[in-house]
């Protein structure tokens, strides 16, 4: 069988995820559909921060054929069961967006029932045991072979550089070619297709399909093919991140949190990602409201005196997407195709999704246009789904303590799709039907520039987040507080906990060990409690 040549330009997490996934998906069961080569520049520094994921990462690991324990050891991995949002609503609060929740059968009225109660217990704590399991610092898995009575969904925290290296070793052992050289020229034909790339060593690398994984530089899509960047920074104002690592040997807080923390600060928010040997911190902020020096000082003060002399770095970014991510015979994956701040840990997910879509729409013939049309549409829809969801975290805040938080609340900072959703949900809380054909009153019908001939508006298909996740954020941020008083009065019954949640919590206390103890016994993480 004739196979196609795929050339991935650029390494890092995006490049090696694409290489590993495509090789596993296309070359299996004794057949070979693609010869995959990755060319990686020795000159381009890699951005290495702690990376948080969502449960979709487990699909990639399963397809690639990765053993979970081996993977976690290789990437300093820890479990992630939730995102804990701190100080987003009033400035002295928190709520969770967990991965597991109880769904009432046969009719899930848990959200409506909570709205009709006095809301004295946070909504997600009534339908999920994971917020309390996280607060107790417990692993989602017991030690030993006996599974937990109620399986909990989880993802991972990992060292992004080690993840790329791990996938590189895994992929090259399974037939992916690896070239360590710097691409200096891209040959584009009159038909708009890339014919070859030339490296510093003088090699001319030809392929049928080219994948641009060169990050914000976008060597192929922007510089060679001239594909425009659609700026979305008017809805997400942050454009910088101050990053820092706090090694456990330097300061161990006494635990390894089984969740990602996103704490709102004066001009943005700070991630805290726990790994086996360090905690990764990153203050995502807007340069219009705080200088880089002041942001660094705020991050150090937030972490504490032990952070005073730790190294830090500044990462610049821009929020937006390529007008098209598949043009001719070139596909952009990762930062070359777009970026949204990692408030919901979607960076690796969007890279993974692009690889999955390419494998699913892999062109067997020489006409790529139909496949490109569909992939561009799907990935554009998913980009705007993520954009809406993250925009929502900001616009629902009730904070007014700094200029930044005053600004993000303004109507002009809420995109029109999200405005339509929120206005509709102020009349009827979110439900599954809202994602069947999501076009609400007032929703814009402006084309999203997903490619020639596609003049449709973006549609949220709930491909990533359905009504359950919207409930987590909306009710965590006190949405419909005033409306509930008007609808149901102020003398409402006490909030109840579902018995399933109580049973799961009781079992968790008996069966699940502290997260750091699981990591010590299952993975060999050093016992920093003894050395602290």
**Is position 421 annotated as part of the catalytic site?**
no
Is residue 334 very low, low, confident or very high in pLDDT (cuts 50, 70, 90)?
A: very high
The Cβ-side half-sphere exposure at 369, using a 13 Å CA radius, reads 6
Q: Sheet harboring 338-339: ordered strands across? A: 229-231, 320-322, 338-339
Report pTM: 0.96
The answer to whether the CB of 471 falls within 8 A of the CB of 123 is yes
What are the φ and ψ backbone dihedral angles of 382, each rounded to 5 degrees? Answer: -70, -35
Distance CA 387, CA 340 (A): 7
Is residue 48 very low, low, confident or very high in pLDDT (cuts 50, 70, 90)?
A: low
Question: Which domains are delineated in the chain?
Answer: 4-77+158-230+321-381 (3.50.50.60), 99-153+390-499 (no CATH), 240-316 (3.30.310)
pLDDT average, residue stretch 439-462: 81
Kindly tell me if the per-residue pLDDT of 135 is higher than 90: yes
CA distances from 332 to 181, 190, 210, 426, 470 (A): 20, 20, 9, 38, 29
Which one is predicted more confidently, 142 or 455? 142
Q: Sheet harboring 268-274: ordered strands across? A: 94-98, 82-86, 260-265, 268-274, 278-285, 240-247, 312-316
Tens-digit pLDDT profile for residues 183-213: 999 999 999 999 999 999 999 999 999 999 9
The answer to whether the CB of 81 falls within 8 A of the CB of 131 is no
Is residue 218 very low, low, confident or very high in pLDDT (cuts 50, 70, 90)?
A: very high
Tens-digit pLDDT profile for residues 123-132: 999 999 999 9
What sections of 173-222 are H helices per DSSP?
none
Q: What is the average pLDDT value for the chain, to the nearest integer?
A: 95
Is residue 107 very low, low, confident or very high in pLDDT (cuts 50, 70, 90)?
A: confident
Q: Is 285 helix (H, G, I), strand (E, B) or coil?
A: strand
Strands 330-332, 209-212: parallel, antiparallel or unpaired by DSSP?
A: parallel
Catalytic residue of the set 80, 141, 419, 421: 80
The answer to whether the CB of 216 falls within 8 A of the CB of 347 is no
Tens-digit pLDDT profile for residues 297-312: 999 999 999 999 999 9
């Amino acid at each position: 069988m004739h196979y196609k040549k795929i050339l991935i330009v650029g390494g890092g997490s995006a490049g090696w995820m694409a290489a590993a996934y495509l090789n596993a998906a296309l070359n299996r069961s004794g057949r070979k559909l693609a010869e995959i080569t990755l060319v990686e520049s020795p000159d381009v520094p890699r951005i290495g921060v702690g990376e948080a994921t969502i449960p979709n990462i487990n699909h990639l690991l399963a397809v690639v054929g990765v053993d979970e324990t081996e993977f976690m050891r290789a990437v300093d991995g820890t479990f992630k069961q939730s995102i804990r949002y701190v100080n987003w609503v009033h400035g002295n609060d928190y709520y969770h967006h967990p991965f597991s929740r109880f769904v009432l059968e046969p009719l899930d009225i848990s959200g409506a029932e909570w709205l009709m109660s006095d809301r004295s217990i946070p909504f997600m704590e009534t339908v999920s045991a994971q917020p309390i399991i996280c607060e107790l610092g417990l692993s989602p898995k017991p030690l030993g072979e006996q599974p937990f009575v109620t399986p909990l969904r989880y993802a991972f925290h990992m060292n992004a550089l080690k993840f790329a290296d791990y996938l590189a070793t895994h992929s090259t052992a399974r037939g992916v070619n690896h070239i360590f050289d710097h691409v200096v020229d891209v040959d584009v034909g009159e038909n708009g297709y890339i014919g070859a790339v030339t490296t510093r060593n003088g090699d001319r690398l030809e392929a049928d399909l080219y994948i641009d994984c060169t990050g914000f530089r976008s060597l192929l899509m922007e510089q060679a093919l001239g594909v425009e960047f659609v700026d979305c920074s008017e809805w997400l104002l942050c454009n910088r991140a101050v990053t820092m690592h706090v090694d456990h040997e330097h300061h161990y807080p006494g635990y390894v949190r089984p969740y990602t923390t996103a704490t709102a600060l004066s001009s943005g928010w700070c991630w805290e990602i726990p790994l086996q040997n360090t905690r990764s911190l990153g203050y995502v902020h807007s340069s219009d409201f705080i200088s880089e020096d002041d942001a660094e000082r705020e991050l150090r003060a937030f972490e504490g005196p032990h952070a005073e002399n730790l190294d830090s770095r500044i990462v610049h970014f821009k929020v937006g997407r390529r007008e098209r991510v598949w043009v001719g015979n070139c596909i952009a994956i990762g930062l070359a195709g777009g970026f949204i701040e990692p408030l919901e840990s979607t960076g690796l997910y969007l890279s993974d999704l692009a690889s999955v879509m390419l494998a699913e729409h892999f062109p067997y013939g020489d006409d790529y246009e139909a496949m490109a049309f569909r992939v561009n549409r799907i990935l554009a829809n998913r980009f705007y789904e993520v954009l809406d969801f993250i925009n929502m975290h900001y616009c629902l805040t009730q904070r007014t303590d700094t200029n930044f938080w005053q600004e993000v609340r303004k109507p002009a900072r809420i995109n029109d799709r999200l405005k339509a959703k929120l206005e509709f949900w102020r009349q009827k809380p979110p439900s599954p039907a809202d994602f069947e054909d999501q076009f609400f009153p007032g929703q814009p019908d402006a084309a999203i520039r997903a490619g020639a001939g596609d003049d449709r508006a973006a549609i949220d298909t709930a491909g990533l987040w359905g009504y359950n996740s919207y409930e987590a954020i909306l009710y965590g941020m006190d949405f419909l507080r005033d409306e509930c008083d008007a609808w149901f009065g102020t003398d409402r019954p006490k909030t109840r906990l579902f018995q399933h949640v109580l049973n799961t919590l009781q079992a968790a206390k008996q069966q699940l060990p502290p997260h750091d103890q699981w990591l010590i016994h299952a993975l060999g993480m050093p016992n920093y409690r003894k050395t602290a």
